[in-house]
Amino acid sequence: MDEMAAAGRETAAAADATGRAAPAGTVSLRKPYLLFLGEETSPLKAKTAFGLRDWVPGDCIGQWRMGACRVDLGLPELDPAAAVAAGARSLAIGVTPPEGRIPAHWARLLGAAAEAGLDIVSGLHTPLAAVPGLAAAALRGGARLVDVRVPPPGLPRATGKRRSGKRVAMVGTDCALGKKYTALALARAMRAHGVDADFRATGQTGIMIAGAGIAVDAVVADFIAGAAECISPAAAPEHWDVIEGQGSLFHPAYAGVSLGLLHGSQPDALVLCHDPSRTRMVSWPDYPLPGLRDAAGLYVRMARMTNPAARLAGVSLNTSALDAAQAEAALQAAGRELGVPAFDPMRGALDAAVAAILG
């Protein structure tokens, strides 16, 4: 077990996506990446790889595919030795095999990458140290095994104390409707406006994009708010952390994660994320989605428990199921209903939202 730990996850601070030190106590990753696609044939099962390519293209040196793979990121084809020579520091598993588990026949390939000196980064359910021979290969290569879904040890309980700096949190009416993409797009737009802003990751794909973070849905309940304080620590007075949301206060399974993250984040501003084409929770059809006004009201009330000045600053709509005219109508209606800028982060036009966040 000591060998596995020595080859395992490092939680000390490292450089994040902006080049600054990542928050202490968070899982930290070494970039650039070689993206491993296995033998995947469906792009839908390679969302992590596509997310990395799209949001941090400068951190993706190449792709490594097995013979049956039909997914192509358009990156250079590199094996581990060539990737290390090109400057790669980690192999990121960018696909989700059946049941989210690492297939037995991947062991040899992952071992070769680790022995070449690449950290192995995974968001899958199989612990990397459980892959036969992988811990020993990592020791030989001086590499780490990083399970980004596993929270770092020693997370504190929340203090509830106000921290310097400013924060905007993504919240939602449901799961899987664009909270991560909204946060990434807003962080990029804020930096384009000259704002000192960082995307703060709370889920496995976000951690791979940012290079640091904590998967809060894997944290023991009493420590979720404390993890959020670690993810978004004290900062310069004009610095903004843009915090990736998880779950929904209205979700029958995941509301506890959402509330702990909200309380620990202590956001100054909230962006409500919503899919106007949905009427019911995804995979929980017995539960209707809340109305926008009800959702915004509850989120603001809960946020004000740890930051009395919290306010709604925008509403982000996932209009991917709508045509252009329908999307525009939905955005206009949401903006009127809530009295804040409405936008779709994948259709652009974020200036009004940035201005509203900055106040």
Q: Say if residues 135 and 7 touch (Cβ distance below 8 Å).
A: yes
Q: Say if residues 27 and 227 touch (Cβ distance below 8 Å).
A: no
pLDDT digits 0-9 by tens, 154-191: 999 999 999 999 999 999 999 999 999 999 999 999 99
The confidence band for 21, taking pLDDT boundaries of 50, 70 and 90, is: low
How many Å apart are CA 164 and CA 239, to the nearest integer? 9
pLDDT at residue 348, as a whole number: 84
Domain extent at residue 253: 166-358
CATH of the domain at 315: 3.40.50.300
How many Å apart are CA 283 and CA 285, to the nearest integer? 6
Q: Do 126 and 255 fall into the same domain?
A: no
How many Å apart are CA 58 and CA 289, to the nearest integer? 38
Angle (CA) 157-257-336 rounded to 5° is: 125
pTM greater than 0.85 (yes/no):
yes
Domain end marker among 147, 176, 196: 147
How many Å apart are CA 151 and CA 175, to the nearest integer? 21
In a domain, 19, yes or no: no
Q: Do 137 and 88 fall into the same domain?
A: yes
In a domain, 17, yes or no: no
Least confident interval from 95-99, 303-307, 343-347: 95-99
pLDDT of 18 above 70: no
In a domain, 152, yes or no: no
Least confident interval from 23-32, 83-92, 187-196, 290-299: 23-32
How many Å apart are CA 114 and CA 265, to the nearest integer? 35
For the chain, the average pLDDT equals 93
Q: Do 139 and 230 fall into the same domain?
A: no
pLDDT digits 0-9 by tens, 103-114: 999 999 999 999
Domain end marker among 93, 118, 147: 147
pLDDT digits 0-9 by tens, 147-162: 999 999 999 999 999 9
> Residue holding tokens 């020993």?
136
pLDDT digits 0-9 by tens, 282-314: 999 999 999 999 999 999 999 999 999 999 999
How many Å apart are CA 176 and CA 62, to the nearest integer? 28
Q: Do 212 and 275 fall into the same domain?
A: yes
Task: State the burial class of residue 19 (Cβ atoms within 10 Å of its Cβ: 0-12, 13-18, 19+).
Answer: exposed
pLDDT digits 0-9 by tens, 206-231: 999 999 999 999 999 999 999 999 99
CATH of the domain at 101: 3.40.50.720
Q: Do 141 and 220 fall into the same domain?
A: no
pLDDT at residue 4, as a whole number: 34
pLDDT at residue 26, as a whole number: 84
Domain end marker among 88, 114, 147: 147
In a domain, 297, yes or no: yes
Q: Do 126 and 172 fall into the same domain?
A: no
pLDDT at residue 20, as a whole number: 60
Closest CA to 210 of 75, 59, 354, 353: 59
In a domain, 4, yes or no: no
Closest CA to 272 of 249, 254, 288: 249
Q: Do 53 and 131 fall into the same domain?
A: yes
Give the DSSP letter of residue 112.
H
The confidence band for 23, taking pLDDT boundaries of 50, 70 and 90, is: confident
Residue 14 phi/psi, 5° resolution? Answer: -140, 175
Over residues 87-92, the mean pLDDT reads: 98
Q: Do 65 and 206 fall into the same domain?
A: no
In a domain, 325, yes or no: yes
Number of domains the chain is built from: 2
pLDDT digits 0-9 by tens, 36-84: 999 999 998 999 999 999 999 999 999 999 999 999 999 999 999 999 9
How many Å apart are CA 328 and CA 336, to the nearest integer? 12
Over residues 125-134, the mean pLDDT reads: 96
Q: Do 141 and 221 fall into the same domain?
A: no
**What does each C-alpha distance from 325 to 190, 328, 331 come to in angstroms?**
27, 5, 10
Sequence letter at residue 156? P
In a domain, 12, yes or no: no
How many Å apart are CA 272 and CA 167, to the nearest integer? 14
Instruction: Pick 18 or 59 by higher pLDDT.
Output: 59
Over residues 82-107, the mean pLDDT reads: 96
Q: Do 192 and 101 fall into the same domain?
A: no
Residue 150 phi/psi, 5° resolution? Answer: -90, 120
Sign for the pseudo-dihedral over CA of 351, 215, 211, 16: positive
> Helix crossing, 224-231 with 255-265: angle to 10°?
40
Q: Do 241 and 352 fall into the same domain?
A: yes
- Paired strand residues for 241: 167, 198
In a domain, 16, yes or no: no
pLDDT of 16 above 60: no
pLDDT of 8 above 60: no
Q: Do 191 and 143 fall into the same domain?
A: no
Give the DSSP letter of residue 281.
E
